[in-house]
Each structure stands twice: as structure tokens, then as C-alpha cells.
Structure 1
Amino acid sequence: MSISVISIFLCIFFYQIFSVESQKGICKPYIGDPQETLLCNNRLINQNSIYTTSNTSQFLAQEVIRSLLFQVSTNDNCNIEPIRVGICQLNLPNCINATYGITVSLPSLICKSECEMMMAICPLFVGKIDCNNSTLFPVGSTYYNLTQIGGPAQYEVKCSKPSEIPGSSYNQQLCPQPLLVKNKTDPEFYASEGYNYVADSSCVLTCPINFFTEKQWDQLYKMSTVVSSFSFIGTLFTAITYGILNRKHNMHTVCVTLFAFSVWLMNFMDLITAGYGYRELLCPKPGKLAVQSDMNCAVTGTLFHFGVSSCVLWWTSISIHLLCKIKRWKPSFLQIRYFLMVNLTIGIVIIIAPLARKNIRAANGVLGCWIVDEQNGYFYIPFLIFISVGVFCILWVMKEIYIIVSTVHNDKRFIKLQLKPIIFVLLVFGSYFYIFCAHFYLDSKKQEYLDSTAAYVLCISQPFLTDETRALCGKPQGPGYGVIFAFYFIIRFFGIFLFLFYGLTKKSAEIWLGSIILKSKITQTLLSKLNISVDGVTNNSKNSGRSSEKKSSQKSVEMDVVSSSETF
């Protein structure tokens, strides 16, 4: 409700209760501010005698005062004590008793000069309240006709001057539900500590902000926990397979292992957040978003950023290695120590800048701590370049494989040969593509979301709202639930992608069959009791290998191509 509408209500309100002829007005003590709410205590000329018709009318006046106090708090010029005192005195005027046989109660209205001072200080009132209305704002006194009770025709009641009320230390304000009030001058409650203040007021938004319903938030949390758990297991299996059990390391297996570790690190941070509690970690206090000074947020956010950055870097490294292999290039930089040095350096450097600027924190509508401001510069734009390099290499690889297969066989087996790498490339690139598009789309909508939040706050600040009418204000417009759900689902699904295309392969099976785990006496004893023979499977694999050695040179070229394809 705007101030213009409130002022109209005030006029009707005053005309109803200030009619002396009705003799309904009486002098009564102020009923006091509601519990845990600061309104007009110590802001009235005489709290023991205010003009009212009943306690009910005081409750109505408090609703108007609450709304007005909130609205003036959003403007620096208006958010001062004289204005707040004037609002209280305007709605709860001082009361004078006049006795001529019988006693009548008369209001002492605010002086015109006081009204004009409020207009000069607070621009929100300009054009909304008419200080020239002598009925509401007398120059010096209001004269009442008391002849009906045997009194004078012009009984003088001097106007009130709220500015002469001794200054009070009271400097807090009421915030409409569900907003919370915080002392923004206290370093503990600075905006930099994670509190989202509404305009220039001392009211902060809830945490998490009610973009979504509680049920939708719970669905997001459960999805994140479940998918991250499966992804965590899948990446751990892949990393152990290629990094620990594998006895024949090369450039490709090392890249796969480090790619798996990067995704595992991301999932591990998700599970830590879930174990600690999403709401507890992201919103450590009422109305407060976690910031870098909150240790849990700093650790999970930093390691998550390192993991997601390394994930892109090692995926690009795999692509570069495949291209060099299929083209039979042997550049001097194609050594794992160089890739380790470059990727580790980039991963560390790209996290130092946001840490130095204290930019690791939680934000509205997120499921974990990460970079909040300048995400484009710290992540999306530089890594868009790396992803583009990777896609370019993959497309080149597919082209070269097609040329080799077509030359050697002159048949149509290219689609069958490339089915796995094609699906993998499409899934990974499609995932990256969606993540980047979703980010830039949401980034373009930031101002729209801020405007929607401002409109929502203005709506809930109206007086006389019940739970039912407050619900009509809806909720702030934020990111679409489907967009956010898909965004976080895809990020957490990378580990499952990895397991499907690297963990469930013939190469992975061979590594496990030849591993020390399956060759150990304990495992052999257990398998023998289950009538499972590992040696038989291994021998079949070896016989198949000897048979393949007797193939013609033409077939050898084919297997080289297949091997290149299966490295995906």
C-alpha cells in the first residue's frame, strides 16, 4: 500500500474519531507496543493520555504506524527519529479532558509547522499529506464548540509539537513478516556478513529466500544428496581402477584418473554440505547467508571450485591427448608432468583471486558455497575457452577416425565404431552447454529478480494483513524451479557419466581381473567357495590377445582406430 493510500485512510480515520459531537472519544493510556515489536513507546507526548475510541482503534492505529515506519525506513532522509515520532503522534494524538458538568475528551492535533517540517525532511510525504488542512493540522490551536455541555463556543486546545519530545535512544524499526530486523550499524550484522537488507532499511530477507516453497527446497536437497552419492561412488571406483589398480599407466589413464578425482572432489563437498545440513551450512543464522569467514562455507566452497575447475581442465587434456594420438603427433609438451604443472597452476591461481576478495559465499537459490560475484571472470569465461578447445579436438578426432576407417574398410561401420564416443561427447558437451546457458540466462535476469523482491516487500508491508491476505502477495520472482533443478542435477551427474563410460568397460574389467585385490589369497579363497574362477576369465582374455596378434596388418590398423575410440 502506498503512502498516498495510507494518508487517505488517515483522513477517514481522523474524521471518524475526532468528532466531538459523537462524544465517543476518550482519553486512555497507550496500550503499549506489541510484544517484541517497537513502535511508539517513548515517542508520545503523554503515553498516559491519548485520544482514542477504544482499544480496538489503538490496534488499528498501530497497523498504520507499522506500515509507515517501515516505508520511511527505506529512505535515508526519512529514516530519522523526528519523522518516526511525528508518525506516532499523528496516529495517537495527545488527549485533553474538558469538564463542564460532564467531561469530554478532546484531541491535541499536530501543529502545521510540525507537518511542514516533516514534508521538508521526508520526500515520501510530499504531495501525500496536505499540511494546509487546518482541521488536521492547526496553526496554533484547535477550537471546539462545547455549548452543548454548557461550555464555551470556542474551547482552545493547543496543537502538539512532537519535535519537542525529549530525544530517545530508540532507533529500531518493525519489519513486516517474514522479514527480520537487524541492527545494520553493528559490525556483526553488516551486509558483508551475509545479510540481505531491503533498500536502506534495517530489514533483511529470510534465508533461504522464499523463491521456492519449503517442499521444493526439500526436493532440491534430496536430489542433490542422492545423485551426489551415486556420483561419488562412481568416481571413486573409476579413480581406484585407473589410478591405483591399473599397473600400466600412460598419459590417458593418468588424465582419466585425475578427471575422476576432480569430479569426486565436487561430489565430496556436496555430501559434506548435505551431512552438515544444507540450511545449517548455507544459513548459519536467521537471515544470514554463509560467507567466507564461516569456516564450513570457506572450505567447501574453495574445494568445490578447485574440483569443478580441474574437471574442465582434465577433460580438455584428455581431448588434446586423443588428438595428438590419432594424428601420431609427438610434441614435447605431451607429457603428464607438463599437464600436471599447467592444470594445477591454473586451478590454484583461479581460486586465489576470489579468496583474496572474500568472494566465496552462499547466495540466494543455491545448494552450496561457491563464487558469488564476478563468476564470469573467475570461472565461466576462462573455462568456456578451455571447453571450446576440448570440443575442437574431439571433433577433429572424430574426423580423423572417419577418414582412417573409410580408407581401410570402405564400409559403413563408422556409426557402430563411434557410437560410444559420440554419445559421450554429446552428453558431456551438452551438459556443459546447458550449464553455461543457464548461468548466463539467470545472470541476465538479476535485475528483474531484484525488482520483484522490492515489489514483494512493498506488498507485505501493507497494514492490516492477515496470514490469508499476506499470502496474496505471493513470493519474490526468482529463478525457475525447473531451471535450477536441472542445473544442479547435471553438475552432480558428471560422476555417473564417468562411471558409465569408463567404469563399465572391458578395459576396467581387465584391470580388476589382474589386480592385486582379486589375486590375493583372501579373495581367491572367497571366490573358490563361490565357485568363481578368475583365472579362467583371465586366460580367455590372454588367448583372445594371442589370436588378435595373428591378424593382418590391415586389421591391426583397425584395432588402432578402435583403441583410439575406446579411450573415451
Structure 2
Amino acid sequence: MNKLKLKLLLLLVVVVVNGQNYDFGFVDPSATCTSYFGNPLCQNRLSDSENVYTTGENKFSQISSMPLIEKAFSSLTFSQGLCKDLKFIEFGICDAGLSSCIVTTPDITPGFNLSLSRRVCKSVCERMIIGCKELSAQINCEQSFLFPSKGTTYNLTEYGYKDNNGLYTVPCIDTEIFYNKVESTVEFIEVCPFPLLLKNSSDPKYDEKKGYTYLTPTNCVLPCPLPNYTEKQKYNVITMSKVTSSISFVLSLYNCITFGILIKKKSKYNICIALMTFGSCCIYLSDVINYGIGIEKQLCPEPGRTATQIEDPLCGFTGSIFHIGISLCVFWAMGMGIVLYSKIKIIKLPNFRYFLIGNLSFTIITLIILASAKQFKGGNGFLECWMRDRWYVISIFWIPCGIATLIGILSICGVIYEIYKISKNVSLKDSKVVVRELKPFLLVVTVSGSLIYLFTFYFESEAKYETYKDGVQDYILCILTSVDPEGECFTVGPSFNDYFMFYFLIRFFGVLFFLIFGTSEIARKSWTESFFVTQIKSKISFTTFSSSRGGSGSGGDSSGVKSSSSVNSIKKIYDDDLNSKSEVVNNNNNNNNYNDNDINNNNNNNNNNIRNNNNIDDDSSDDDDDENMDIELKSTDI
């Protein structure tokens, strides 16, 4: 804050000193006294608005002075809390930058009507320093040519003035006289430099809860989205997110249909995969909605305002979908780790229904808490609506998800150790256990690793929060002094590479799930045996068969006897072929029945042995259901 204070005051000094650019006693015959051109900044703040010292055509000097005065007012806006009597200083700046003037009469300068400026009195300078003591280090009120005690002396000898050796004194302007008359009717003007926007924080319409980020103690709000990165960098992130989210949504939907609907064997693994991919579907659905509407329109519905659940119901809707999705992904990744470890260690888990109830209950309860507390917001610099309050984010998401991730990691560490023990005694190519567990193992490792990165990124950003906050001061100073604030000035945030990777990992989960599970043999087989594919195959086969029959029948039309004979011969061959195939099928079915009976007998014996060895209660129907839900972890199932 000291750095900000010093630099802001330096800006004020530039205005006060450079505003007096006429030099000592300089007379410009072309200057005129004209009325103020009407810019709102100094409206009702000039001691003599009808007589302003002006040079150039079309009040050029007045117009050219306004950018500097605007900079000074912007500096004063951010000096609130640092300086007092700011309203009077604004009056002093206007009188200094737009000096009032007098016009000499013919008895003073015969044949000439000279316009002479009236400079600000020394008493005005002294009051400005009293209100802002730090100014005394840069402004010397004892400089009489800048701040005269009584007035400024001009040499008018060449213009015919004879008295006092041709020296004519113009009284200084005492801003305090005019200020005391209008003080009660004039308010302090806040000026927010571009791209900041001025809003009235006391107006409920512009309340902070509605998505405005105020730079206290001012009424200036940060732009939306937050200028952490260049336009090119923001374009790259948004483009990556659009492409990756769209692809991941389609692939997640494919996985969800495959493992949730098409695969009839509802094992624990299949349920975990189906619910996890359903979660990823929700994540990417929120993105698809955002990009369909327009990401900036959705997250920044108005200039300077981020979307909130209160003002923007669609933000609350997409935020709810995103929360459901991210929660399901995290907790079912943990569930897969637990199931994986239990299978390789042959540990009987509690009824799988408890996992379903627990995970879904957590997701629904936290969703209700967030929605009822109106916590879904767009957030500056974020690509989706979600909770932004630090307390809610940490307590509702990161702590429970951190615990879930830790459990998943510990489970995977146990799996790694068990696989290591197996691989020591059995060659890798002969170890069916290693092959069976490879894909779910890779999934949990990659998901857990990604979550660790996201976890680290978030809390590292939180640890640097004060640094980012202090960086706003440099951003303000930059936009106060820069010619191109949008292209040169940026707020401080996480490095772009970390930021890019954070959003890439979240949006890559759908592709990852597809590569691991969507391409598996059981997934491909479920589609080839699905109702849709079998119907298509049947229609293709029927069309092919009809075409072949039609082609054969049209070949011998020259003789009715021959044609009939040919058709009968073909029909006989075809019927014989069908009969032979039917016999083969029947024989195969009989063989399969024998094999199935043998397998069932073996399975029954194995199940009985397992129950006897583990003292499992055969009378528990829940345990029987749970056993039926266990996956056999064949290579075709993964």
C-alpha cells in the first residue's frame, strides 16, 4: 500500500505542476477568456466557469487538459483512506488545470484586449497539503511563480501599459471562497480508469452479492473476465475447453450408455464405471450449455458483473450439474480403488448398496446446501459456474474429496504391492491377475494423480492469495499510466501453464475413461450384441438374401419348365443347408449346455468352498445379492 500511495501522489503532483504551463508572467496575445466547454469532471468545480484561460481553436487547451485532470481524479479515487479533504483537492485541481482569467481593458492596454490567467493562490496549495500531507514532499507552496500569495505579475510595456513600469498584477484565484459556497451541494467525484467500471455499491442493484467485484474503498469494479492473461491466452484456453469438452461429452455419453444400459452384467466395476462416466457427462454437459450460449455471455452477463445464482438461474443450473458431475467422478474413482483392492486381496466388502447410498447422499446433500446458500457463481477467471466462497469450497469439496482421494491412493498402493508380490513369483505374461487389473489400475492412478494436481493447484493459489491481492495495486498503477491498459496491464494470478493444465485435466477425464474402458472387449461386444446393431444386421442379411434369390430367379425365363426346376433345385439346396446348419447349432447348443452344467457345478463347488473357508452366512440374502454383483475380473470385463 505504501508503494501505491507514493505513486498515486506523484500523479497528483504532475497534474498540479503541469497544469501551470504558462510560465512566469507569459503573455499570449492569441489567448482568450471563454466559457467552460462543459466536461462533467469540472462542472460546478471551477471558481469562474465563464472565464477560462483558453488557447487554440475550438477551446483546444481546455479539451487537451481533460485527460490529465481525469488521471488526477482517478488517482484521488484510489487515494480514499490515504488523504482527507479530497473534494476540495478536486476543486483545486480544476482551478489549476483550467485557470480562470481576466481581459484587460483599453485603459490598461490601449488597442489590445489581452487575456491573462489567474493562478491558484498559495493558500489553496497549503490546504491541499494539509488534506494530503504526502504532497508536501513533491509540491513546494513557496514557489511564488506557481502559487502566488496575492497575484501574478505580467510585463505589459509593449502593449502600452505605463503604470508601475509596465508591470501589471493579476490577483490569484482563491478556490476556497467558491468551494465554501457550494460544498454542501457537490459530491466527491470518483473516476474509474478504463477498463474498470464505476458502480454505486450502496445501490442494491449493484450489490456485491450480485456479482460485482469492488476495489474498496472505491466504487470501481474489476472487469469480467478478470484480465489475468492476454487475449490470445484466453482464446487458447477457451478453444481448448470447447474442443476437449465436446469430445469428452460424446465419449462419456458412449461409456454411460455402454456400462449403464447395454451391459447386462451389473457388476460392481460396471456400476462404478457407469456412475463415474455419468458424472463426467454432467461436467461436460455444463460446458456444452455454456459454450452453446456463449461463454462470456453466460459467465459475464453484464460488463463488470460475473454470473450468480441469484441473478442468473442458468448459472445455478449449470453449477448444480457441474457439482454433481465432479462429486460423482471423485467418489466413484475412490470406490473403484476400494473394489480393486478388495478383489485382489479377496476381502469381502460391506453390501455394495452402502457405497451407492453414501456417495449419492453426499452429492445430493452438498448440492442442497450450496443451492440453498446461493453459492453458485461464475467467478472472475473461471470457466464455469460453481461455488467460489473459500469456506464452502474447502469444507464441502476439498476436504471430503481430499479424504476420498487419499483412500483411493492408499488402495492403489495396496494393489501395487500385491501385484509386485505376484509378479515376483509368476512371470508377467502368465499372471492373469496383473492383466485383469491393469486397466482399472491405470484409471485410478491417472484420476488420483489428476486430482492431486488439481488439489495442489488450488491450495497453492490460495496460499498466494495475498500476493495476487497485492498485485491489484500494480494493476491500478498500470492502467493509470498506460496508453493501452487492455494490452499492457494485467492482474496477477496463477501462471498460465498451470492454469491451462488445471482446466485441461478436468476436461480430459472423458477421453481418459473412454480410452481405458470404452475400447475394452466387453464394451465392443455389448454394442455388437445390442438391439440396434442386431436389427441392422438382420435387415442387411435379409436384404442380401432377397437380392440373391431375386437374381437367381430371373436368370432362366426362356423356359417355364426350366425356370421352375431351377427354383425348386435352389430351394432344396437352401433348405438342406438350413437343416444342416440347424443340426450344427443344435449340437453346439447341446455341447454348450453340457459345458454350462459343468461350469455351474464347478462354480457352485467353488462358491461353497469360499463360503466354508470364510464363514459366510449362507442364509443372508443381501450377501447373496452382493456376491452376484461381484465382477469376475476377466480380461473381457475390463
In 1, distance between residues paired with 2:318 and 2:492? 28
Contact 2:27/2:116, CA 8 A, preserved across alignment: no
Structure 1 counterpart of 2:400: 382
- Closer, same or farther in 2 for the Cα pair 1:3/1:527, shift >3 Å? farther
The offset of 1:313, in angstroms, is 0.9
Deviations 1:435-474 (A, max 9, x none): 2222223333333333333213212213xx645xx57844
Structure 2 counterpart of 1:42, one-letter code: N
Aligned with residue 155 of structure 1, among 135, 151, 169: 169
In 1, distance between residues paired with 2:599 and 2:409? 34
The offset of 1:208, in angstroms, is 1.6
Q: Counterparts of 1:360-399 in structure 2 under 5 Å?
A: 360-374=376-390, 375-399=393-417
The offset of 1:497, in angstroms, is 1.5
The offset of 1:482, in angstroms, is 2.2
Contact 1:51/1:92, CA 8 A, preserved across alignment: yes
In 2, distance between residues paired with 1:295 and 1:360? 10
Contact 2:16/2:93, CA 8 A, preserved across alignment: no
Contact 1:238/1:503, CA 8 A, preserved across alignment: yes
Aligned with residue 500 of structure 2, among 476, 485, 492: 485
1:64 aligns with 2:74: no
The offset of 1:491, in angstroms, is 0.6
TM-score by length of 1: 0.84
The offset of 1:14, in angstroms, is 1.7
Contact 2:69/2:94, CA 8 A, preserved across alignment: yes
In 1, distance between residues paired with 2:207 and 2:428? 70
Structure 2 counterpart of 1:88: 94
1:423 aligns with 2:425: no
Larger radius of gyration: 2
The offset of 1:26, in angstroms, is 3.4
**Helix, strand or coil: the match of 1:39?**
helix
The offset of 1:396, in angstroms, is 1.7
- Closer, same or farther in 2 for the Cα pair 1:13/1:239, shift >3 Å? closer
1:137 aligns with 2:147: yes
In 1, distance between residues paired with 2:506 and 2:487? 35
Structure 1 counterpart of 2:171, one-letter code: V
The offset of 1:46, in angstroms, is 2.1
- Closer, same or farther in 2 for the Cα pair 1:124/1:343, shift >3 Å? farther
In 1, distance between residues paired with 2:134 and 2:319? 42
The offset of 1:406, in angstroms, is 5.6
In 1, distance between residues paired with 2:418 and 2:55? 91
- Closer, same or farther in 2 for the Cα pair 1:18/1:283, shift >3 Å? farther
In 1, distance between residues paired with 2:371 and 2:23? 61
The offset of 1:312, in angstroms, is 0.6
Structure 2 counterpart of 1:274: 291
**Helix, strand or coil: the match of 2:104?**
strand
Structure 2 counterpart of 1:47: 49
Structure 1 counterpart of 2:218: 201
- Closer, same or farther in 2 for the Cα pair 1:425/1:318, shift >3 Å? closer
In 1, distance between residues paired with 2:23 and 2:427? 99
In 2, distance between residues paired with 1:51 and 1:334? 89
1:441 aligns with 2:460: yes
Structure 1 counterpart of 2:472: 453
Deviations 1:82-140 (A, max 9, x none): 33222211211221223212333233333333333322333553433233334333445
The offset of 1:170, in angstroms, is 5.8
- Closer, same or farther in 2 for the Cα pair 1:131/1:504, shift >3 Å? same
Q: Which has the higher contact order (CA 8 A, sep 6+)?
A: 1
Contact 1:97/1:103, CA 8 A, preserved across alignment: yes
Structure 1: stretches of 5+ with no match in the other structure: none
1:510 aligns with 2:580: no
- Closer, same or farther in 2 for the Cα pair 1:160/1:372, shift >3 Å? same
In 2, distance between residues paired with 1:313 and 1:107? 76
The offset of 1:304, in angstroms, is 0.6
Q: Counterparts of 1:119-198 in structure 2 under 5 Å?
A: 119-123=129-133, 125-142=135-152, 146=156, 149-152=161-164, 153=167, 155=169, 157-161=171-175, 162-167=178-183, 168-169=185-186, 172-198=189-215
Structure 1 counterpart of 2:516: 501
Structure 2 counterpart of 1:260: 277
Contact 1:17/1:24, CA 8 A, preserved across alignment: no
The offset of 1:144, in angstroms, is 5.1
- Closer, same or farther in 2 for the Cα pair 1:566/1:384, shift >3 Å? farther
Structure 2 counterpart of 1:39, one-letter code: L
Contact 2:152/2:172, CA 8 A, preserved across alignment: yes
In 2, distance between residues paired with 1:372 and 1:566? 43
Structure 1 counterpart of 2:309: 292
CA RMSD of aligned residues (A): 3.6
The offset of 1:13, in angstroms, is 4.7
**Helix, strand or coil: the match of 1:43?**
coil
The offset of 1:186, in angstroms, is 2.2
Structure 2 counterpart of 1:226: 243
In 1, distance between residues paired with 2:194 and 2:236? 25
Structure 1 counterpart of 2:576: none
Structure 1 counterpart of 2:79: 75
Contact 2:249/2:284, CA 8 A, preserved across alignment: yes
- More off after superposition, 396-405 vs 208-217: 396-405
Deviations 1:29-80 (A, max 9, x none): 22332xxxx3212221222211233334323421221111001101335585
**Helix, strand or coil: the match of 2:42?**
coil
The offset of 1:545, in angstroms, is 12
Structure 1 counterpart of 2:622: none
- More off after superposition, 393-402 vs 59-68: 393-402
In 2, distance between residues paired with 1:262 and 1:545? 43
- Closer, same or farther in 2 for the Cα pair 1:90/1:567, shift >3 Å? farther
- More off after superposition, 165-174 vs 286-295: 165-174
In 2, distance between residues paired with 1:233 and 1:159? 74
Aligned with residue 249 of structure 1, among 263, 266, 285: 266
**Helix, strand or coil: the match of 2:48?**
coil
The offset of 1:15, in angstroms, is 5.1
The offset of 1:267, in angstroms, is 1.0
- More off after superposition, 365-374 vs 347-356: 347-356
Structure 1 counterpart of 2:394, one-letter code: N
Q: Counterparts of 1:3-14 in structure 2 under 5 Å?
A: 3-4=9-10, 6-8=12-14, 10-11=16-17, 13-14=19-20
Structure 1 counterpart of 2:554: none
**Helix, strand or coil: the match of 1:16?**
coil
Aligned with residue 400 of structure 1, among 405, 418, 441: 418
- More off after superposition, 163-172 vs 182-191: 163-172
1:28 aligns with 2:34: yes
- Closer, same or farther in 2 for the Cα pair 1:171/1:297, shift >3 Å? farther
Contact 2:377/2:387, CA 8 A, preserved across alignment: yes
In 1, distance between residues paired with 2:497 and 2:601? 53
- More off after superposition, 412-421 vs 100-109: 412-421
In 1, distance between residues paired with 2:492 and 2:601? 65
- More off after superposition, 14-23 vs 379-388: 14-23
Deviations 1:483-530 (A, max 9, x none): 2222111111111221222222122233334444445x5652246547
In 1, distance between residues paired with 2:330 and 2:544? 43
- Closer, same or farther in 2 for the Cα pair 1:398/1:143, shift >3 Å? closer
